[in-house]
């Protein structure tokens, strides 16, 4: 029961507490009990909103793969008494941008409006979420767009490699399918499927909302009720089984007549709630993180010119995490790139990191984190990510301590636990020599 | 809607985000001044968070390269990370990262830009580094040879592995007969393989002078705070003569051209049409503002004329759009791009687009369409101010491609002053068959895609 009588603002977390102008995150609870995190910024007449519903593409049955993506793509293609063109024209005339997407574990939405059109923008968002129409013409148009996009992926070696790698490591688990489905399953989706998915997945108990920009808690509270109050209280219970991540060192080749081979590699990773998460996070930065300075980048790009870029990253899906990476090299050099990656993998597992590397990694990870808060849209997106990761509104205060607390021993331990060069699996799309 | 990756995007390499965010706005209100050596300084205060974007823009790009040296401007951009008299190769980005910052660079036909995003108390550190590599670059063969390979891998990744990008290179080369926009920013592979370190050093020496550079700092800073630092680090570098930037005129176009790329990797066909168009600085420049309104009316999202006709009503296409970027020193391009639905022949797509163009030229746009387009374009100005980085990029790109602060700040007024007749005149001046190149991307044989 939602009995909260009035607007509550539970402050707050100071994002830049060392600074004169800290960014404050407020927790706004609407009269009807809808929660949103808010960062006020009245310097421009703009409001950005990000939202998520926990539970995404992995929850649909195999024979309807792509249903989540198709449903959310149709939310802004006609709602309430407006058909698709009327709805889209309204957004456009008000200069409101609105979009939805589906990940494996969550559905995402984002909206940006001028303060002048706040009421109408939230009204349009509400209609999209609570009264999507799924008109036949719009459904067929979106279906054709999805099929076209899938066809284009066939000529995109990066997309091919990503898809094949997911299949390789997750097998028949839903994570092994692409969120966008395949032609056969997209053709099998009909209007009742879309209606049912929207009705069962877009609900208040799995909803997360974050807002940044030119709006006060007093103004936001009632808008939250009007926008989200019409959603069902609870999503249909859904349980996703734990994935059995298979990485046994195999290399799968997909032959393509292209000059450069594209590689996706990885092995089982570490969950976001694992006590060693932060150690793994720092370790990965040193191994293959941002920029030109990682070990992989140094060995493969800087010293040898074998690739434009090589990266590794933690992919902590809810039910089966990976540590994953990408590289692309000319067909006659890709074997050397992959060999060097295995060497670095083994070197990190055996020897860990140096104190100097650890110190540099900490200053970078602490200093660069706030730099992503470049716009109201990026601030609201960050707040949603924090909520989905169940980190709490004080996370921005705690993050520095969590990273500073990582020791060389922590990293050496987590590297030994995670990295096994012999089990590093890969998919190569191209015409690689030596395989 | 589904966000499809655009199959065309001939402009994407050159224009990037400028397409989406018109260079703009009474609202930036930048402060600007010049150093004694001629370097322009632009400050865009935004105190929301204690960070800033520090950018140095050089007025040199791939269009300033000499024959046989295509891609050299971009190669120099890469080599700028390779060391100076006092900073060893690779240390630049390492020091930025050790200070919690991010850095990168990019090259277009008209300019080359370097930037760092840092906490505001790290400004002086990155200014010292950036000024150092303007004046004291020291390059070594052992760093150059691997970096050449990196650029060749970058070209394979961006172009040779992507049939749509290879077609873009060909249509652009076909469109520009005399302009140096003819060749790709990254360069032809045959040139990348051949130029020498001495060519890199020479290019840097000729163009990377303070009087040929623009400093843009956006974020938690004021002009008062910046001025002494700018004088200290950049103001002490001596000015020197830089070459004239040559942008040869295009001859009057004489023939409609079609470029067909068939490739065994193509699964999804695509159709594009590029028209040679004026920019702010080249050709019949009075059309530059009306063409932005035209692009919004014809290509604006899912309610523009092209999308409505081809995607929604005729159900021939999965996506359709229009691109136009006036911020260039030389001529620009007004482009159409369409992604057909499965099984729809490109001839049908072409006929449908030509039908739209014919109707546009015959009946013109309406006063209501122009009014709505103006509203949307003016709203985009407010959004452009939201991001510290985007604002810095818009200002730097506009200035580096020959506009003034006055031009940028009066953009909303100039857009607002455009009449229906001016839009129609611009459409009739530009959308002529002989000004166009049509691009067709197809599988090796009709009806076949790459194997699934």
Written in H, E and C, the secondary structure of chain B is CCCCCCCCCCCHHHHHHHCCCCCCCCCCCCEEEECCCCCEEEEEECCCCCEEEEEEEECCCHHHCCCCCCCHHHHHHHHCCCCECCCCCCHHHHHHHHCCCEEEEEECCCCEEEEEEEEHHHHHHHHHHHHHHHHCECCCHHHHHHHHHHHHHHHHHHHHCCHHHHHHHHHHHHHCCCCHHHCCCCCCHHHHCCCCHHHHHHHHHHHCCHHHEEEEEEECCCHHHHHHHHHHHCCCCCCCCCCCCCCCCCCCCCCCEEEEEECCCCCCCEEEEEEEECCCCCCCHHHHHHHHHHHHHHHCHHHCHHHHHHHHHCCCEEEEEEEECCCCCCCEEEEEEEEECCCCCHHHHHHHHHHHHHHHHHHCCCHHHHHHHHHHHHHHHHHHCCCHHHHHHHHHHHHHCCCCHHHHHCHHHHHHCCCHHHHHHHHHHHCCHHHEEEEEEECCCCCCCCCC
Model confidence pLDDT, tens digit, residues B153-199: 999 999 999 999 999 999 999 999 999 999 999 999 999 999 999 99
Query: From the list A140, A148, A259, which residue is nearest B160 (CB)?
Result: A259
- B261 phi, psi to nearest 5 deg: -115, 115
- Report the alpha-carbon distance of residue B271 to residue B293 in Å, rounded: 23
How many angstroms separate the Cα of A244 from the Cα of each of A172, A283, A424, B218, B345? 9, 24, 15, 48, 44
Neighbours of A64 (CB within 10 A): 18
Among A336, A367, A372, most B C-beta atoms within 10 A, so best to mutate, is A367
Helix or strand holding residue A210 (H, E): strand A207-213
Of chain B, the end-to-end C-alpha distance in Å amounts to: 25
Residues A50, A108 contacting (CB under 8 angstroms): yes
**A205 close to B (CB below 8 A):** no
**A86 close to B (CB below 8 A):** no
Sequence-distant (≥ 6) Cβ neighbours of residue B379 within 8 angstroms: A95, A114
Neighbours of B8 (CB within 10 A): 27
Chain B partners within 8 Å of A292 (Cβ): 81, 90, 93-94
**A8-228 and A251-430 share one CATH topology?**
yes
Query: From the list A258, A304, A360, which residue is nearest B146 (CB)?
Result: A304
Q: Which residue, B341, B324, B342, is CA-closest to B333? A: B324
User: What is the Cβ-side half-sphere exposure of residue A242, based on CA atoms within 13 angstroms?
Assistant: 3
CB-CB under 8 Å, A292 with B90? yes
In this complex, how many residue pairs, one in chain A and one in chain B, have their CB atoms less than 8 Å apart? 224
pLDDT recorded at residue B271: 98
- Report the alpha-carbon distance of residue B322 to residue B341 in Å, rounded: 18
**Residue B16: pLDDT over 60:** no
Chain B partners within 8 Å of A156 (Cβ): 162
Residues A162, A315 contacting (CB under 8 angstroms): no
Model confidence pLDDT, tens digit, residues B402-412: 999 999 999 99
Q: Return the DSSP state at A85.
A: H
- Report the alpha-carbon distance of residue B264 to residue B445 in Å, rounded: 8
CB-CB under 8 Å, B312 with A84? yes
Sequence-distant (≥ 6) Cβ neighbours of residue A381 within 8 angstroms: A50, A110, A210
**A294 close to B (CB below 8 A):** no
- Report the alpha-carbon distance of residue A427 to residue A317 in Å, rounded: 20
Q: Is A427 left (phi over 0), alpha (psi -120 to 50) or beta?
A: beta
**Tokens encoding A64:** 């309807």
Query: From the list B46, B49, B146, which residue is nearest A303 (CB)?
Result: B146
**A93 close to B (CB below 8 A):** yes
Helix or strand holding residue A388 (H, E): helix A376-388
Model confidence pLDDT, tens digit, residues B81-121: 999 999 999 899 999 999 999 999 999 999 999 999 999 99
Cα nearest neighbour of B95 on chain A: A360
Q: Which residue, A218, A161, A124, is CA-closest to B161? A: A161
Cα nearest neighbour of A154 on chain B: B267
CB-CB under 8 Å, A328 with B156? yes
**Residue B22: pLDDT over 60:** no
> How far is C-alpha B255 from the chain's CA centre?
27
**Residue B349: pLDDT over 90:** yes
Cα nearest neighbour of A23 on chain B: B49
**A367 close to B (CB below 8 A):** yes
pLDDT recorded at residue B300: 86
**A378 close to B (CB below 8 A):** yes
> How far is C-alpha A38 from the chain's CA centre?
20
Model confidence pLDDT, tens digit, residues A63-76: 999 999 999 999 99
Sequence-distant (≥ 6) Cβ neighbours of residue A35 within 8 angstroms: A27, A28, A29, A209
- Quote ipTM for the complex: 0.92
Residues A175, A45 contacting (CB under 8 angstroms): no
Helix or strand holding residue A311 (H, E): strand A310-315
pLDDT confidence tier of residue B47, bands split at 50, 70 and 90: confident
Provide the β-strand partners of residue B259.
Answer: B439
Residues B200, B207 contacting (CB under 8 angstroms): no
Q: Which of B31, B65, B66, B77 is catalytic?
A: B77
**Tokens encoding B53:** 């974007």
Minimum distance, in Å, between the CA of residue B206 and any CA atom of chain A: 26
**A260 close to B (CB below 8 A):** yes
* Rounded (10°) angle between helices A408-418 and A334-351: 130
Among A17, A72, A92, A194, most B C-beta atoms within 10 A, so best to mutate, is A92
Q: Which fold, A251-430?
A: Cytochrome Bc1 Complex; Chain A, domain 1 (3.30.830)
**A363 close to B (CB below 8 A):** yes
- Report the alpha-carbon distance of residue B39 to residue B238 in Å, rounded: 10
CATH (one of 3.30.830.10, 3.30.1180.20, 3.40.1790.10, 3.40.50.2000) for A8-228? 3.30.830.10
CB-CB under 8 Å, B147 with A305? yes
**A356 close to B (CB below 8 A):** no
Neighbours of A412 (CB within 10 A): 18
CB-CB under 8 Å, A152 with B152? no
Rounded mean pLDDT of B352-379? 96
Cα nearest neighbour of B343 on chain A: A148
Q: Return the DSSP state at A103.
A: -
Is B77 designated active site? yes
- A279 phi, psi to nearest 5 deg: -65, -40
CB-CB under 8 Å, B90 with A302? yes
3-state secondary structure of A169: helix
CA torsion angle for A96, A102, A103, A104 (degrees, to 10)? 160
- Report the alpha-carbon distance of residue B434 to residue B252 in Å, rounded: 9
CB-CB under 8 Å, B154 with A308? yes
Preceding omega of A12 cis (within 30 degrees of 0): yes
CATH number of B257-442: 3.30.830.10
**B222 close to A (CB below 8 A):** no
Among A17, A66, A144, most B C-beta atoms within 10 A, so best to mutate, is A144
Query: From the list A149, A258, A293, which residue is nearest B161 (CB)?
Result: A258
Range B38-233 classified under CATH 1.10.357.10: no
pLDDT confidence tier of residue B27, bands split at 50, 70 and 90: low
Model confidence pLDDT, tens digit, residues B119-140: 999 999 999 999 999 999 999 9
**B386 close to A (CB below 8 A):** yes
Query: From the list B1, B303, B382, which residue is nearest A89 (CB)?
Result: B303
**B160 close to A (CB below 8 A):** yes
For residue B153, count CB atoms less than 10 angstroms from its CB and return exposed for 0-12, middle for 13-18, buried for 19 or more.
Answer: buried
Residue owning tokens 């509550």: A8
Chain A partners within 8 Å of B302 (Cβ): 85, 88, 92
- Report the alpha-carbon distance of residue B227 to residue B241 in Å, rounded: 24
- A335 phi, psi to nearest 5 deg: -65, -40
Neighbours of B167 (CB within 10 A): 25
Provide the β-strand partners of residue A47.
Answer: A113, A213
In chain B, residues 310-339 whose CB comes closer than 8 Å to chain A = 311-312, 315, 318-319, 339
pLDDT recorded at residue A3: 38
**A152 close to B (CB below 8 A):** yes
pLDDT confidence tier of residue B385, bands split at 50, 70 and 90: confident
CB-CB under 8 Å, A43 with B46? yes
Q: Where in chain B is the domain with CATH 3.30.830.10?
A: 38-233, 257-442
pLDDT confidence tier of residue B17, bands split at 50, 70 and 90: very low
Provide the β-strand partners of residue B336.
Answer: B273, B322
- Full pLDDT tens readout for chain A, 435 residues: 333 345 555 544 444 433 434 578 999 999 999 999 999 999 899 999 999 999 999 999 999 999 999 999 999 999 999 999 999 999 999 999 999 999 999 999 999 999 999 999 999 999 999 999 999 999 999 999 999 999 999 889 999 999 999 999 999 999 999 999 999 999 999 999 999 999 999 999 999 999 999 999 999 999 999 999 999 999 999 989 999 999 999 999 999 999 999 999 999 999 999 999 999 999 999 999 988 999 999 999 999 999 999 999 999 999 999 999 999 999 999 999 999 999 999 999 999 999 999 999 999 999 999 898 889 999 999 999 999 999 999 998 899 999 999 999 999 999 999 999 999 999 999 999 999
Chain B partners within 8 Å of A92 (Cβ): 300-303, 372, 376
**Residue B393: pLDDT over 60:** yes
**A110 close to B (CB below 8 A):** no
Cα nearest neighbour of B313 on chain A: A137
**A95 close to B (CB below 8 A):** yes
- B201 phi, psi to nearest 5 deg: -60, -45
pLDDT recorded at residue B77: 97
Sequence-distant (≥ 6) Cβ neighbours of residue A89 within 8 angstroms: B303
- Report the alpha-carbon distance of residue A362 to residue A292 in Å, rounded: 16
What is the average pLDDT score of chain B? 91
Residues A166, A175 contacting (CB under 8 angstroms): yes
CB-CB under 8 Å, B93 with A152? no
- B211 phi, psi to nearest 5 deg: -70, -5
Minimum distance, in Å, between the CA of residue A2 and any CA atom of chain B: 34
Minimum distance, in Å, between the CA of residue B319 and any CA atom of chain A: 7
């Amino acid at each position: 029961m939602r009995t909260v009588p009035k607007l509550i603002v539970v402050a707050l977390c100071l994002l830049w507490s060392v600074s004169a102008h800290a960014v404050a995150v407020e927790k706004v609870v609407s009269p009807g009990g809808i929660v949103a995190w808010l960062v006020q910024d009245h310097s421009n007449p703009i409001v950005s909103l990000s939202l998520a519903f926990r539970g995404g593409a992995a929850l649909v049955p195999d024979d309807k793969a792509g249903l989540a993506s198709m449903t959310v793509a149709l939310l802004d293609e006609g709602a309430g008494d407006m058909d698709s063109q009327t709805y889209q024209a309204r957004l456009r005339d008000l200069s409101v941008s609105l979009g939805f997407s589906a990940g494996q574990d969550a559905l995402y939405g984002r909206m940006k409006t001028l303060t002048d059109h706040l009421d109408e923008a939230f009204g349009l968002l509400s209609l999209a979420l609570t009264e999507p129409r799924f008109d036949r013409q719009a459904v067929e148009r979106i279906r054709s767009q999805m099929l076209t996009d899938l066809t284009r992926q066939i000529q995109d070696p990066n997309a091919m490699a990503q898809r094949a790698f997911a299949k390789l490591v997750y097998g028949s688990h839903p994570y092994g399918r692409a969120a966008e489905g395949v032609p056969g399953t997209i053709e099998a989706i009909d209007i009742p499927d879309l209606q049912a998915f929207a009705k069962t997945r877009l609900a208040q108990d799995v909803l997360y909302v974050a807002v940044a920009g030119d709006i006060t808690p007093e103004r936001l509270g009632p808008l939250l009720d009007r926008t989200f109050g019409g959603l069902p209280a609870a999503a249909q219970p859904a349980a996703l089984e734990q994935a059995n991540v298979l990485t046994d060192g195999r290399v799968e080749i997909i032959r393509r007549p292209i000059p450069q081979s594209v590689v996706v590699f990885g092995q089982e990773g570490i969950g976001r709630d694992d006590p060693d998460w932060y150690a793994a996070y720092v370790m990965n930065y040193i191994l293959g993180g941002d920029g030109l300075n990682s070990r992989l980048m140094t060995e493969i790009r800087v010293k040898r010119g074998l690739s434009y870029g090589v990266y590794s990253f933690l992919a902590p899906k809810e039910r089966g995490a990976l540590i994953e990476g990408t590289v692309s090299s000319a067909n006659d050099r890709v074997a050397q790139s992959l060999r060097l990656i295995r060497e670095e993998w083994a070197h990190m597992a055996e020897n860990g990191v140096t104190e100097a590397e650890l110190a540099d990694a900490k200053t970078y990870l602490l200093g660069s984190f706030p730099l992503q808060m470049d716009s109201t849209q990026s601030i609201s997106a960050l707040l949603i990510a924090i909520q989905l990761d169940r980190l709490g509104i004080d996370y921005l205060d705690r993050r520095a301590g969590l990273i500073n607390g990582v020791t060389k021993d922590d990293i050496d331990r987590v590297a030994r636990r995670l990295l096994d060069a012999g089990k590093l699996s890969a998919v190569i799309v191209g015409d690689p020599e030596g395989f | 809607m589904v966000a499809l990756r655009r199959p065309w995007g001939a402009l994407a390499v050159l224009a990037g985000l400028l397409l989406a965010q018109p260079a703009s706005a009474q609202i930036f209100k930048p402060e600007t001044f010049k150093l004694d050596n001629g370097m322009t300084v632009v400050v865009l205060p935004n105190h929301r968070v204690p960070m800033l974007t520090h950018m140095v823009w050089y007025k040199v790009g791939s269009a300033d390269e000499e024959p046989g040296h295509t891609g050299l401007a971009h190669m120099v951009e890469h080599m700028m990370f390779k060391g100076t008299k006092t900073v060893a190769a690779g240390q630049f980005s390492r020091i930025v990262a050790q200070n919690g910052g991010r850095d990168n660079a990019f090259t277009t036909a008209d300019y080359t830009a370097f930037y760092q995003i840092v906490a505001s108390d790290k400004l002086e550190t990155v200014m010292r580094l950036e000024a150092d590599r303007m004046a004291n670059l020291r390059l070594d063969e052992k760093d150059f040879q691997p970096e050449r390979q990196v650029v060749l891998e970058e070209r394979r990744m961006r172009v040779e592995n992507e049939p749509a990008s290879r077609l873009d290179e060909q249509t652009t080369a076909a469109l520009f007969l005399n302009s140096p926009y003819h060749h790709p920013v990254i360069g032809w592979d045959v040139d990348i393989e051949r130029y020498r370190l001495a060519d890199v050093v020479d290019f840097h020496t000729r163009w990377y002078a303070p009087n040929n550079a623009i400093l843009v700092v956006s974020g938690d800073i004021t002009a008062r705070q910046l001025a002494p630092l700018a004088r200290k680090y950049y103001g002490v570098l001596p000015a020197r003569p830089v070459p004239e930037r040559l942008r040869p005129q295009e001859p009057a176009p004489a023939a409609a051209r079609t470029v067909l790329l068939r490739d065994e990797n193509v699964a999804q066909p695509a159709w594009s049409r590029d028209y040679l168009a004026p920019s702010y600085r080249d050709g019949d420049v009075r059309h530059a503002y009306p063409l932005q309104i035209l692009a919004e009316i014809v290509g604006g999202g899912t309610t523009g004329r092209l999308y409505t006709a081809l995607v929604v009503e005729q159900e021939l296409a999965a996506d359709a759009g229009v691109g136009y970027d006036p911020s260039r020193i030389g001529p620009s391009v007004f482009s159409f791009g369409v992604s057909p639905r499965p099984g729809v022949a490109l001839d049908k797509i072409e006929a449908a687009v030509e039908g739209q163009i014919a109707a546009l030229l015959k009946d013109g746009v309406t006063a209501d369409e122009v009014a709505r387009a103006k509203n949307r374009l003016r709203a985009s100005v407010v959004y452009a101010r939201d991001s510290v980085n985007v604002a810095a990029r818009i200002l730097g790109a506009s200035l580096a491609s020959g506009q003034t602060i006055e031009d940028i700040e009066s953009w909303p007024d100039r857009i607002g002053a455009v009449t229906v007749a001016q839009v129609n005149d611009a459409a009739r001046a530009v959308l002529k068959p002989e000004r166009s190149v049509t691009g067709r991307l197809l599988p090796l044989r009709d009806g076949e895609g790459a194997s699934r």
